Structure 1
Amino acid sequence: MKKIYFLLILLAPFFVQGQDVYNELNENQNTNWYNAIFKSSEDSVLFYQEAMKLPQVPEARRENLENYQKKLQLYRDGLHSFVNLHRQDDSAAQVLLISCFRNIEINLDTLSSMAKTLDGKGLNNKYADYLLQEIAGRENDEVGKMLVPFSMPNVHGDMISSNNFKGHYVLVLFWASWCIPCRAEIPQMLSVYHQFKNSGFQVLAISVDSQKQNWLQAISQDKSDWHNLFDGSAWNTKVVRNYAIHVIPQSILVNPEGEIVAKNISPQGLQKLLFQNLK
């Protein structure tokens, strides 16, 4: 599943301040101190990260992978050094959050470990609060964890609870009407849904749209007849914050016991898994 939009997530337990945090971080990405320390390294990582998604002959793929791993390690080393040096001021939490927003590959253990080094003013600020929420969200969506229950209104305004679908495989799909790769994948996902919807499979499609009319129009255009959910909170939607979603499309697949068994599964992978388990 392609992830080409690098977007904000409002993870803090306050909404307006969460928006302010993102806006400030976005500005900081263009400041002299950030550019001088991280921009070149970040650009290299993202360049090879995108290159890895393209069709390539084996030799070129190996070369790109080697270059990517080298550039990523340089970025990680720089991140470690910066956080250790600035662990008592808020810039450490800022750069950790920027790496999350930019979708740079920093695993959860590494992110948590660096966050634990923050101290004093480095820990007691809005960026650190936001960072801890990001980490909690990432922990929630690990394979093997249980789905955090949620309820949202559907197109008719009726509240739909995830608890109503225990005993089913459930795909929780995060999307938006304006997200081109989201919309492009919907026909394939719909095909899988129609194949298995009467055999113990359901889809809860959570929109991060802010305008209801745009959401309804997209549903009509795509003919998506699964459970479409929307509350108008966009990136403030509780379930979006609970799972640290700031890139779409994304998905979480839950088994009949409510356990997360896959993330960002492709339509082909989903079809194969359901065929094996819902015969």
Structure 2
Amino acid sequence: MNMKINRSLWTGLLALSSVQLMAQQQLKINAEFETLNDGQKVYLTDFITKRVDSTSVANNKFQFMANADSSTIYIVQLGLQPKENEFFFMDMGAGQVNISGKGSSFKDVAITGSSFVDRWKELDAFMLNRCGGGINYPNELAQKMAQAQAIGDGQALENLQKDFLLYVEKGKSAAKDWIAKYPDESISAYVINAFLLNKIPLNEVKALVKGLGANAQRSKLAHLMLTLEEPKLSSNLLNQQAPDFTLNDEKGVAVKLSDFKGKYVLLDFWASWCAPCRKEMPFVKAAFEKYNSPKFTILSVSIDTEPEKWRKALTDEKMPWKQLLDDSNQQVSTLYNVAFIPMNFLIDPTGKIIAFGLYGENINKQLGDVLK
């Protein structure tokens, strides 16, 4: 059936479509709690751009409006230093999020709204079923590891680290199945970021992102991952002889890097206060357990400036390889141009640096390639 539409009506339809399109590009968050204090500050943070908006509670309610031209991870938190259950995060795009609760935190709140809310809940249940823990399980484990470390419970810390490694391993398989099921949904970019980035090679991560549908690739997380580059050294140490050095171990015994010539050495820079370093530790331990032999070892260099905290971390972490403390001038970390930690260098039996910046499962993969 042919239809004729006069020009004025057509123009009106275009104008209406434009208004609807603009409305669709807004994210609206409405929250109501029975016992929130009036005047309390609430913050909305875009995890990717780091943009922070704030509002105040009034009549036990608060509201946010944000431009949502593409989806991103938003964090909603009560106050600048939220405690447990005083924040939550979610992959959000254009649409609405409704939050209602009876207490004064996000514990046991009801969250409803647009389709991305339902998909987030579905992902949480999916990961719980496949991996034994939901989306927030790694953060829960990290909190428990920090508590075990604080009280000096080394056995609990070791068990929690094993739980973390198991979750990571299961998460890789589950993530790929989720992506195959929902290739064109923005939440799949989050799944790649949360469960595969730094756990599989970066080129594989980028290939997965490029394989997503057009809608998913518009997310800020997808764009971020496609622009990531392998870490670069400020000077070209790769394929060069590793600078030799001498440092003391925890017993005060002098140790030279060249003492280990003839075997592969993973030179690992870390610190007791470095949370990312502590999160990487289970992967480093797993690599040592798998590959420790006359052909391979690990040598850790801490940049701690307080030796007692370093020694306590050694007791907590129970790392069964040689531990060294950089001197007060940070001589060795400067020698290796270490701009951030964790950072590591793989040195071959001739003393040449053949790789650096190995994280997560990439440690196992690289060692598996050279120690065949």
Unaligned 5+ segments in structure 2 are 1-46, 52-71, 73-189, 197-208
Q: How much does 1:198 deviate?
A: 1.6
Q: Which residue of 2 aligns with 1:182?
A: 277
CA distance, structure 1, for counterparts of residue 218 and residue 359 of structure 2: 24
Supply the RMSD in Å over aligned alpha carbons: 3.6
Q: Which residue of 2 aligns with 1:138?
A: 234
Q: How much does 1:232 deviate?
A: 4.5
Contact 2:302 2:325 (C-alpha < 8 Å) held by counterparts: yes
Q: Which amino acid aligns with 1:225?
A: P
Q: How much does 1:227 deviate?
A: 1.0
Where do residues 1-279 of structure 1 align in structure 2 (5 Å cutoff)?
A: 53-54=193-194, 58-59=212-213, 60-61=216-217, 64=220, 138-141=234-237, 143-233=238-328, 236-279=329-372
Q: How much does 1:185 deviate?
A: 1.6
1:49-84 per-position Cα deviation (integer Å, ceiling 9, x unaligned): xx89556963434654886599x9xxxxxxxxxxxx
CA distance, structure 1, for counterparts of residue 312 and residue 286 of structure 2: 20
Aligned-partner SS, 2:235: helix
Contact 1:176 1:182 (C-alpha < 8 Å) held by counterparts: yes
CA distance, structure 2, for counterparts of residue 245 and residue 45 of structure 1: 26
CA distance, structure 2, for counterparts of residue 267 and residue 53 of structure 1: 13
Q: How much does 1:246 deviate?
A: 2.4
Q: How much does 1:269 deviate?
A: 2.4
Higher gyration radius (CA): 2
Q: How many residues align?
A: 174
Q: How much does 1:267 deviate?
A: 4.4
CA distance, structure 1, for counterparts of residue 340 and residue 368 of structure 2: 28
Give 1 or 2: higher helix fraction.
1
CA distance, structure 1, for counterparts of residue 314 and residue 220 of structure 2: 39
CA distance, structure 1, for counterparts of residue 363 and residue 281 of structure 2: 13
In the superposition, relative to structure 1, how do residues 182 and 61 fare at CA in structure 2: closer, same or farther (>3 Å)?
A: farther
1:73-128 per-position Cα deviation (integer Å, ceiling 9, x unaligned): xxxxxxxxxxxxxxxxxxxxxxxxxxxxxxx98x97xxxxxxxxxxxxxxxxxxxx
CA distance, structure 2, for counterparts of residue 243 and residue 158 of structure 1: 22
Contact 2:246 2:257 (C-alpha < 8 Å) held by counterparts: yes
Q: How much does 1:149 deviate?
A: 0.8
Q: Which amino acid aligns with 1:230?
A: L
CA distance, structure 1, for counterparts of residue 246 and residue 336 of structure 2: 14
Aligned-partner SS, 2:250: coil
In the superposition, relative to structure 1, how do residues 183 and 68 fare at CA in structure 2: closer, same or farther (>3 Å)?
A: closer
Q: Which amino acid aligns with 2:340?
A: V
Greater RCO (CA < 8 Å, at least 6 residues apart): 1
CA distance, structure 1, for counterparts of residue 269 and residue 311 of structure 2: 15
